[in-house]
Structure 1
Amino acid sequence: MTTSTLGSGVPDAAGAPSTAASRLVLRRILRPWPLGLGALTALSAFAYLWALQLGQRSEYYAAIALSMSQSWANLLFGSVDPAGTVSLDKIPGSYWVPALFVRLFGFSTWSVNAPNALATVAAVLLAAFTARRIARGFGLEGGATLAGLLAGSAVAATPILAAVARSNQPESFFVLALALAAWAATKAVERASARWLVGAGAFIALAFQMYMLEAWAVWPALAAGYLVTRKSWWRKIRDLAVAGAVSLVLSLTWIAVVALIPASSRPYVGGTYSNDPFEMVFGYNGLGRFSATADSSDYRSFTPPFSGEAGVLRLFNVEVAGQVAWLIPVALLAIVVLLVLRMRLPVVVFLGGWLVTFLAMFSAVAGMHQFYTASLALPMGLLVGLAFAVARSRRVLWAQLAMIGVAALTAVLVGLAYPGYLLWVVIVQGVLALVAGALLVVGARRRARARGWVSVIAGAALLLTPAAWSLDAMNHENSINPVAGAQSAMGGMGGGFAGMGGGFGGFPGGGGSSGAGGFGGFPGRGPGAAAGNGQPGGGGSSVPGGSDAGGRDGGPARDGASSDGMGAAGAGRSGSEDAVLAYVQANRGSASYLLATFGAQSAAGYITATDGDSVLPIGGFSGSDPAPTLDTFEQLVSSGQLRFVLMSSDGGFGGGGGFGGAGSTSSSDSEVSAIREWVTQNCTAVDGITDLYSCSAG
């Protein structure tokens, strides 16, 4: 006989499994790792993506993404103009995803900037997962969560990486590719795995498509780490040879494809004398980067002078320190800590060698933007996260105190170099360092819950000031030379030399009204600043002026944000540019090209303002590439494909006596100079519009 349980008040047993499962899922979600990872993801996404559509974009790189989105051929070759006349002066890997975003979602500031932000979030998460996996493999079950979250937080809190993430500069995808390489490389050296070594080589080849030779700088550290694994020397050398060969072949794939396609069937390779992709990668972007000058070399490479003189202490000068130096000393200390605490030697050799190699490279290169150093975030973050977690798990007091103390001291020294900017945060970090140290010394680590809170306080004592600089990057943007913290907030050069004037852009600074223009005519620094590197002073290019108008895409401008108009610097259009655009659109007739300009910088604003209309960038990025030739140019005019030519390009790198422009003495400029001369002799100046010429079909 059965007894009914209705009304007995006893819960139905059928619901018990689902309730228990729900509780189990909830408990798992509320564990430190998923909870911390969720918070890290949310904070990173907020810092990099919030109000991104109202931010700035580099008009030059925006035009490239728009041009590449016009056809699959343009996407492959990295064409800087919709018609596919000339390519980028680099491998276009970092622009493939932004171009696809433009193709899928239409052209806007959001569609060209969001891919970089998403790539940076992915890199942060990969760093966290990599550090956690390494720590677990080392037997640190309790410390693995701390290692992962601290490593990911350190990467996210690198100010220059945060600044780049909110721009359309090409660095973010390189950092993501390096994060993938780090994941595979650490597995390779942990397990002495040939398969993972080949995988790491493949990811390094992917990074090569993003940033070329800089990617190969990971290989010495990876090889050293693999050579100290427990394998026979013959097998280690064989594995390295195979993986190196695979990496080399994959790295050179794009170069080989372009080289094998007839020159008449593809754009001219930007930055070269001979239309050769090998020259572009290994000459212009290779040897040319280590030239002794900061304006040009035998390869006419652009070596930006925004980071001070090359030397051992370059990364600690006032131009660079606030962007990346916060964790350099503690990361170097972390190498020592990991060695002393007998962390797996191959991992330490790889990560330590990677950091030291990149530090040496950035200290030696002739000239660079500060954002080149964003790739340091990965080895620094992994080393700091792992070292502190190992020391914390093993209760090695001296190592924890030393790392917290070095990080806090670095924050104080770097913070004092920028007086008046977030000094209260530096003070708070110092106080937190003292509190964390005291808690460690008096034994708060004895209780599990107390240990967790001490770890949180210690993490803040390690990262608070750079994290604050990173968050403040949301309010002060510059997509031409992205910088975070004091340089952007105080309207400085973003790290340019004092007294440098307006050469190579003269970013807003110091207040002089007489500074030279560049990069679209940003005001120079200091009174009477002279134009640098042959650029004419005082003005912006014909695309655009130096004013920051409203927000992009119809939104209000935030600090430094500019309107959705034309311009190499992303500033709003002036009346003269509006006049040029209105005139050529009304009078182009059946011409294929809207107009021609000297230099891709000048062409960029007109390309974006017309949502991808064909603008001919004579001379490419530098304004001195022999593309098109005079014969080709004459044919375009005589056939009626081209009618208007804009002669002025003072604010860009090309033409007007700028970098590699008509004022250069290089023999490769003869075609550009010949075109200028031909236009002045055979075309008619348009009344009322400065520097615009009308050419009649013959």
Structure 2
Amino acid sequence: MTLVSADPAEHPAAGPEQSDAQAAPAPRISAYRHRIALGLLLAGTAVLYLWNLSASGWANAFYSAAAQAGAENWTAMLFGSSDAGNAITVDKTPAALWVIDLSVRLFGLNSWSVLAPQALMGVGAVAVLYAAVRRAAGPGAALLAGLVLALTPVAALIFRFNNPDALLVLLLVVAAYCVQRGIEKDAGRWWFVAAGAAVGFGFLAKMLQAFLVLPAFAGAALVAGNRTLGRRVLDVVTAGVAMVISGGWYLVLVELWPASTRPYIGGSQNDSIVELALGYNGFGRLTGDETGGLGNLNFDAGPGRLFGWQMGADIAWLLPAVLVCLVAGLYLTRRAPRTDPTRAALILWGGWLLVTAAVFSFMNGIVHPYYTVALAPAVGAVIGIGATLLWRHRSDIRAATAMSGAMAVTAVLAAVLLARHDDEFWWVRAAVAVAGVGAAVLLLMVGRLDRPAVRGTAVLAIVAGLAGPAAYSISTAAAPHTGSIPSVGPSRGGFGGLFAAPEPGPSLTARLSEGADRYRWAAAVVGSSNAAGYQLATRAPVMAVGGFNGTDPAPMLPEFQQLVDDGAIHYFIRSRIMAGGFGGHTPSGSRAAVEIAEWVQTHYQPVVVDDVTIYDLTQHATNPTNT
């Protein structure tokens, strides 16, 4: 990967000497050209992320149903409840839901109002990444960084989906930009306050994953800050305090709120958001010790995970090239002043990349391929900065060799990844192989080429390096994606079957909807994805017994029996996970949902509607509810 910028106005050392009269107009022309290029980049990103967005329907119905609930009920919105009856929350803090809730309140409940906020977050992330990289390495590097982010397949997936990762990525890019500003000369400490606040709010989107960038942010601030060591330490502490306040207020609020007047905290076994943050969504993701989890086998944990069948197509395309760019960039800036902004940016973005990649590679708890979207901004930034530095030194055979080697490895890796869907991408695979080899050869001798050939080489290298991920991103955008575990590429939909929301037939929908306003919950069913499907179809609250996996003790059997006695629940729906098993996995956690399902089946008469078995809980039970 390389970036050409032969414009003397941008890099004076790259072009011939000019008189003041000749050089004067160049900065204005260059600035205008780059503004046009930025506009095209953002417009193209918007098209990629917004085009045919409604094809995915509700996408992740789990979060769409929660957005429906939050748009109808302020308590449900505050806590991220799965339903407007406020039985249980989603298994995340609800910052990402707040954005969607507001969109649904403004524009009504539909696919666009649910998914468009994430697409706009993607455009915003590209814009902020451009701004950050431009400050460190110039507009050419910034354009390349933004292009890489926009065309990373997992970014094209997640910024068209309603998982919380989209907001997390945007907030972390904003935080990185603020750190870069904070370490510059004469910068105010408020930049670090803003950085801490952005990370803290990122915690409210996806909890402890937001903190993976902290070593890189702190390292860049301490190494390169334009202040004395004591003040640099104070900057980091200030950012930390802002982060704790920005993210911690919500935990305090939930812990102090009377449990009887709020929904149960989904994903926890003790109705505790602190437990959720530190356990199921915290250290349990690293160790695999997750009460309420599915006993993930994690057979692919290790250094090759990011290149494997699960994650490779999402993020691996440029990983070898980004490592070359990082090492080369740090080497080329080794003699720069301590406060050099380019090296500071490499420390920041490179540290983000290495720490996050290591955690994703070796974590033993629940991990999904789409998590790798958190790597995409760092990949883009390091490629943009490192490739630009190498290009400026292209006359040095060592730099030319590094660029040539990175290009060759990128082409080989792209061919391997594309071969996994050979029927779909055979022509791209052939084109990348030919263009990649040609670009690698030309890069090796680029220092001896004339200017037109130099420009052509740069264009060829960029096209060859990005053709593979671009093809995958376009195929990702062209396919509908649903379920809780979406995947990139031409394959349709997400994780087949296990967590897909049901689509009830017309007779069942009418049956559940009839008189629903007379009940707190029109129905109850084990598992949040099951409840989401029925809730979105009926637009009435449906209780998710046991939360997402059906393993939360919410409600317990006596509580459920009391709600039935009070006439709060109309129907109970038999589901495929009522027996407590998930496709061969035996989940840990509470068996309350299984006990409730067994009690209903024992005491109420089943009725089959549209091939689904339901139980009318308002009918007289065959035995007293206290048995």
**Alignment TM class, shorter chain as reference:** 0.7 to 0.9
**Which amino acid is 1:196 matched to?**
W
Q: Secondary structure at the match of 1:169?
A: coil
- Alignment CA distance shift 1:594-1:406 (3 Å): same
Distance 1:664 1:468 in 2: 38
> Does residue 1:482 correspond to 2:482, yes or no?
no
Structure 2: runs of 5+ lacking an equivalent: 1-24, 621-627
Q: In structure 1, what is the equivalent of residue 506 of structure 2?
A: 578
Deviations 1:422-478 (A, max 9, x none): 13223323433444455553558654x765554333321321211111111122232
Is the CA contact 1:48–1:117 (under 8 Å) kept in the aligned structure 2?
yes
Q: How far did residue 197 of structure 1 move?
A: 2.6
When residues 383 and 30 of structure 1 are mapped into structure 2, their CA distance, relative to the original with a 3 A threshold, is: closer
The equivalent residue for 2:351 is 353
What is the aligned partner in structure 2 of residue 299 from structure 1? 291
State the distance in 1 between where 2:404 and 2:51 align: 36
Aligned to 1:181: 175
* Residue of structure 2 equivalent to 1:163: 157
Is 1:289 the counterpart of 2:280? The answer is no
CA gap 1:226/1:268 in 2 versus in 1, 3 angstroms:
same
The answer to whether residue 227 in structure 2 is matched with residue 225 in structure 1 is no
- Give the aligned partner of residue 308 of structure 2: 317
Contact 1:67 1:80 in 2 (8 A): yes
Q: Kindly provide the amino acid, as one letter, of the partner of residue 283 in structure 2.
A: L
- Which digits, 9 at most, give the CA deviation of each residue in 1:202-236, with x for residues without a partner? 21112111111011111111112222125433222
Give the corresponding residue for 2:190: 195
1:375 deviates by 1.0
Provide the residue aligned with 2:34 in structure 1: 33
- What is the rounded CA distance, in whole Å, between the counterparts of 2:470 and 2:243 in structure 1? 35
* Aligned equivalent of 2:275: 279
SS at match of 2:41: helix
**What does residue 84 of structure 2 align with?**
82
Q: Is the 8 A contact 2:38 2:143 kept in 1?
A: yes
Q: Is the 8 A contact 1:177 1:203 kept in 2?
A: yes
Equivalents in 2 of 1:644, 1:413: separation in Å? 51
| Distance in 1 (alpha carbons) for counterparts of 2:453 and 2:585 | 68
Q: Is the 8 A contact 1:303 1:368 kept in 2?
A: no
Aligned-pair distance for 1:67? 1.2
Conserved in 1, the CA contact under 8 Å of 2:607 and 2:615? yes
Partner of 1:120: 122
Query: How far apart are the structure 2 equivalents of 1:29 and 1:101?
Result: 38
1:412 paired residue among 391, 412, 415: 415
What SS does the corresponding residue of 1:594 show, helix, strand or coil? strand
2:247 maps to which residue?
251
The superposition leaves residues 129-177 of structure 1 with CA deviations (integer Å, 9 ceiling, x where unpaired) of 2111211xxxxxxxx2210110000101111111122222222111111
Q: 606, 613, 622: which is aligned to 1:691? A: 613
Structure 1 pair 453–30 and aligned structure 2 pair: CA distance change class (3 A): farther
- Once the two structures are superposed, what CA deviation does each residue of 1:597-652 show, in whole Å capped at 9, x if it has no partner? 122221111111123x1212222212132223334323332232323211x221xx
SS of 1:686's partner is strand
> For 2:520 and 2:425, how far apart are their aligned partners in 1?
53
Q: Which residue of 1 aligns with 2:435?
A: 432
Structure 1 residues 163 and 183, CA gap change in structure 2 (3 angstroms): same
- In the TM superposition, what is the alpha-carbon distance from 1:378 to its structure 2 partner? 0.6
* Partner residue, 2:575: 649
Q: Given the alignment, which residue of 455, 458, 463 partners 1:460?
A: 463
Query: Cα deviations across residues 224-251 of structure 1 (Å, max 9, x unaligned)?
Result: 2222125433222232222212212322
* Alignment counterpart, residue 96 of structure 1, candidates 95, 98, 111: 98
Sequence identity percentage: 33
Q: Which amino acid aligns with 1:134?
A: A
On the 8 A contact 2:353/2:378 being kept in 1, the answer is: yes
Checking the alignment, whether the CA contact within 8 Å between 1:308 and 1:319 is kept in structure 2 is no
Deviations 1:235-269 (CA, angstroms, capped at 9, x unpaired): 22232222212212322221111111110111100
Judge conservation of contact 1:593–1:616 (CA < 8 Å) in 2. Answer: yes
Aligned residue-pair number? 576
SS in 2 for 1:693: strand
Verify: 1:639 aligned to 2:560, yes or no: no
Structure 1: runs of 5+ lacking an equivalent: 1-23, 136-143, 495-504, 508-516, 521-542, 545-565, 567-572
Q: What residue is the counterpart of 1:530 in the other structure?
A: none
The letter of the residue matching 1:270 is G
Taking a change above 3 Å as real, the CA distance of residues 365 and 477 of structure 1, as seen in their structure-2 partners, is farther
Corresponding position: 1:518 with 2:498: yes
How far, CA to CA, are the matches of 2:292 and 2:281 in structure 1?
10
Equivalents in 2 of 1:302, 1:439: separation in Å?
51
Aligned ranges for residues 553-592 of structure 1 at < 5 Å? 566=503, 573=504, 577-586=505-514, 590-592=518-520
Q: Name 1:389's counterpart in structure 2.
A: 388
Query: Do the aligned residues in 2 keep the contact of 1:289 with 1:303 (CA within 8 Å)?
Result: no
Q: Which residue of structure 1 aligns with residue 581 of structure 2?
A: 658
Letter in 2 for 1:623: G
Change (3 A) 1:452 1:664: closer
Paired with 2:618 and 2:416, the residues of 1 have a C-alpha distance of 64
Q: Could you give the per-residue CA deviations for residues 471-492 of structure 1, whole angstroms, max 9, x where no partner exists? A: 111222323222222xx34x6x
How far 1:660 sits from its partner (Å)?
12
TM-score (norm 2): 0.85
1:76 shift after superposition: 1.2
Deviation at residue 579 of structure 1 after TM alignment: 3.1
Indicate conservation of the 8 Å contact 2:513/2:538, yes or no. Answer: no
CA distance in 1, matches of 2:440, 2:524: 64
**1:637–1:697: 8 Å Cα contact kept in structure 2?**
no
CA distance in structure 2 between the partners assigned to 1:74 and 1:80 by the alignment: 7
**Alpha-carbon distance in structure 1 between the residues aligned to 2:31 and 2:325:** 30
Structure 2 CA distance for partners of 1:55 and 1:354, relative to 1, 3 Å: same
The residue that corresponds to 2:45 in the other structure is 44
- Structure 2 distance, partners of 1:591, 1:173, is 35
CA root-mean-square deviation: 2.9
Within 1, Cα distance between the matches of 2:431 and 2:585?
A: 54
Identify which of 214, 226, 231 aligns with 1:235: 231
Residues 294 and 588, structure 2, Cα contact 8 Å, conserved in 1: no
Aligned-partner Cα distance in 1 for 2:386–2:418: 24
CA–CA separation in structure 2 for the residues paired with 1:429 and 1:205: 41
**Could you tell me whether the CA contact under 8 Å between 2:295 and 2:585 is conserved in 1?**
no
- Pair 1:340 & 2:343 matched: no
Instruction: Map Cα deviations across residues 349-385 of structure 1 (whole Å, 9 max, x no partner).
Output: 2221111101101001124211000111111100000
**Partners in 2 of 1:273 and 1:661 — Cα distance?**
22
Offset of 1:301 from its aligned partner? 3.0
Amino acid paired to 1:115: P
Letter aligned with residue 50 of structure 1? W
Distance 1:154 1:690, change over 3 A: closer
CA distance in 1, matches of 2:449, 2:36: 21
Q: Which shifted more, 601-610 or 451-460?
A: 451-460
Q: Could you tell me which residue of structure 2 aligns to residue 603 of structure 1?
A: 531
For residues 298 and 324 of structure 1, do their structure 2 counterparts lie closer, same or farther at Cα, with a shift above 3 Å needed?
closer
Q: Counterparts of 1:539-550 in structure 2 under 5 Å?
A: 544=502
TM-score by length of 1: 0.77
Question: Higher mean Cα deviation, 145-154 or 450-459?
Answer: 450-459
Greater alpha carbon shift after TM alignment, 32-41 vs 582-591: 582-591
* 1:616 paired to 2:543: yes
Q: Distance in 2 between matches of 1:377 and 1:662?
A: 31
RCO (CA 8 Å, sep 6+): is it higher in 1 or 2? Answer: 2
Q: Distance in 2 between matches of 1:117 and 1:308?
A: 33
Letter matched to residue 331 of structure 1: V
Secondary structure, counterpart of 2:543 in structure 1: strand
